[in-house]
C-alpha cells in the first residue's frame, strides 16, 4: 500500500493533522498506523492500578490481505483498553462530518466493544477511560447472542443520546469498515463496508429535542363516546334449564369393585367425570356495537416546548479520537481511521484500504 497517501504530521508526539484540502474538503485526522504510531497515540493508565489495563500491539494479524498494513490490536484477554490521539481542534459547523475506521475481530469476539470515540475540549489522555465525557461514540458492540449492534451515540447538554434504530454490526472474523456521516442539514448515514445500512434525521432518530407534536394533555374523552367494539346481544336469552346442567356427572362406565363390601367400605358411588353437556356460566353472545366510534385518543397538537435546532449536527470543539473498550476475549485490530468532511474521499480511502486488500482467509469457528 502506498503510504505516501497518508496526510499526517507528527507534532509534539501527537497526531497533528493540518487541514489539508482533499478534493473539495478537509482531512482533520487520518491514521494508518505506520511506524512511529506510538509517538502519535497516548496509552491511558486507566485500570492500571487494578491490573486490568490492557495493551496494544502493532500487527496485521494472523491473516490479512496485505501483511504490511498493520493496525493496533488489543491484548490480553479480560481487560479494559484505552488509547487516544489529539488533532487540531475544529468545529464541523457548516461542514459534513465523516468518521470512518476499520476493525477486525480476529478472536471471534464474544463480548466486548469495538467502537471509536470523538472527544471535545481538553482531556487528560493518561486518564482517558470509561468515565471520560465524549461527544460522539460510534461502532460495533457485541455481547452474546442478543447484542450485536452498531452504536451511534451523540452527546448534548452533558447527556448521551442513543440512536433509536437497531443497526446490526458484523460478527465474523474479517475486517469491516464502519462510516458515520453527519450532514449540515441534520441528516445522517451509517455505512458498513461502503454500503448504507441506515440513514435518516438527527431530529427524529435521536430524542435530543422534544417531539414536534404531542397529544393534547387537556383533551378529554367525550361522555357520549362509545369505544365498545362488541356488546352483549340484548335479544339473546338464556336457554331454559341451562343452569340445571351439572358440571360433573357420575361415570356411566364405572362399576362397583367385586371386593367392595358396603358394611366395611361404605356405600359405593360411581366416580364423577366432566359433563360433556356443561358449557360453563351462561353469557349472552356478543355482537358488533352499532354505536362504536373507535378507540378514543387525544388530538395531536404542536408541542409548545419544541424549538427547532438547525445546529443539532454541530460539535464545536472536537479535539481527540480514541478507543475505550472492555473485552472478555481480546484480539480486535483497529486501522484506517479517518475524520474528514468529504464522503467521497472517505469512500476512496475505504476502497484503497479495505476494498483493495480484503482478508484472504480466516479461522473457522
Feature table: binding site for an alpha-D-glucoside:
115, 117, 134, 141, 324
What is the chain's alpha carbon radius of gyration, rounded to the nearest angstrom?
Answer: 33
Binding site feature residues: 115, 117, 134, 141, 324
Cα–Cα distance for residue pair 6/41, rounded to 1 Å: 16
SS3 119: strand
Phi, psi of 180 (to 5 degrees): -125, 120
Cα–Cα distance for residue pair 8/309, rounded to 1 Å: 35
Q: Where are the alpha helices (DSSP H) in 46-191?
A: none
Cα–Cα distance for residue pair 17/39, rounded to 1 Å: 14
Q: Which three cell numbers stand for residue 3?
A: 503510504
Half-sphere exposure of residue 264: CA atoms within 13 angstroms, side-chain side: 3
DSSP readout, 35-73?
Answer: TTHHHHEEE--TTTTTT-B-EEEEE--SS-S-TT--EEE
Cα–Cα distance for residue pair 203/211, rounded to 1 Å: 9
- Cβ-based burial of 359 (10 A; exposed 0-12, middle 13-18, buried ≥19): buried
Amino acid at each position: 500500500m502506498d503510504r505516501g497517501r497518508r496526510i499526517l504530521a507528527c507534532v509534539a508526539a501527537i497526531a497533528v493533522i493540518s487541514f489539508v484540502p482533499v478534493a473539495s474538503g478537509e482531512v482533520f485526522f487520518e491514521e494508518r498506523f505506520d511506524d512511529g504510531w506510538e509517538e502519535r497515540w497516548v496509552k491511558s493508565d486507566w485500570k492500571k492500578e487494578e491490573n486490568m489495563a490492557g495493551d496494544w500491539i502493532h500487527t496485521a494479524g494472523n491473516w490479512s490481505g496485505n501483511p504490511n498494513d498493520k493496525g493496533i490490536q488489543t491484548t490480553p484477554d479480560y481487560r479494559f483498553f484505552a488509547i487516544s490521539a489529539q488533532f487540531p481542534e475544529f468545529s464541523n459547523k457548516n461542514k459534513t462530518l465523516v468518521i470512518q475506521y476499520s476493525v477486525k475481530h480476529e478472536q471471534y469476539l464474544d463480548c466486548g466493544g469495538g467502537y471509536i470515540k470523538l472527544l471535545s475540549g481538553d482531556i487528560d489522555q493518561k486518564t482517558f477511560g470509561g468515565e471520560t465525557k465524549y461527544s460522539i461514540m460510534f461502532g460495533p458492540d457485541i455481547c452474546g447472542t442478543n447484542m450485536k449492534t452498531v452504536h451511534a451515540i451523540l452527546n448534548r447538554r452533558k447527556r448521551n443520546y442513543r440512536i433509536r434504530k437497531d443497526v446490526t454490526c458484523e460478527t465474523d472474523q474479517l475486517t469491516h469498515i464502519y462510516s458515520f456521516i453527519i450532514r449540515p442539514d441534520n441528516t445522517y448515514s451509517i455505512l458498513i463496508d461502503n454500503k448504507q445500512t441506515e440513514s435518516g434525521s438527527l431530529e427524529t432518530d435521536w430524542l435530543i429535542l422534544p417531539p414536534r407534536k404531542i397529544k393534547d394533555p387537556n383533551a378529554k374523552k367525550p361522555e357520549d363516546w362509545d369505544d365498545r367494539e362488541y356488546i352483549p346481544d340484548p335479544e339473546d336469552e338464556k336457554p331454559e334449564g341451562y343452569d340445571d346442567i351439572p358440571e360433573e356427572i357420575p361415570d356411566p362406565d364405572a362399576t362397583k369393585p367385586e371386593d367392595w363390601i358396603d358394611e366395611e367400605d361404605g356405600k359405593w358411588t360411581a366416580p364423577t367425570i366432566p359433563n360433556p353437556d356443561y358449557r360453563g356460566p351462561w353469557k349472552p353472545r356478543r355482537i358488533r356495537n352499532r354505536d362504536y366510534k373507535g378507540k378514543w385518543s387525544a388530538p395531536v397538537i404542536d408541542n409548545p416546548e419544541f424549538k427547532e435546532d438547525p445546529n443539532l449536527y454541530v460539535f464545536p470543539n472536537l479535539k481527540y479520537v480514541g478507543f475505550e473498550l472492555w473485552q472478555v476475549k481480546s484480539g480486535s485490530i483497529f486501522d484506517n481511521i479517518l475524520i474528514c468532511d468529504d464522503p467521497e474521499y472517505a469512500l476512496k480511502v475505504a476502497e484503497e484500504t479495505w476494498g483493495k486488500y480484503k482478508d484472504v482467509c480466516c479461522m473457522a469457528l
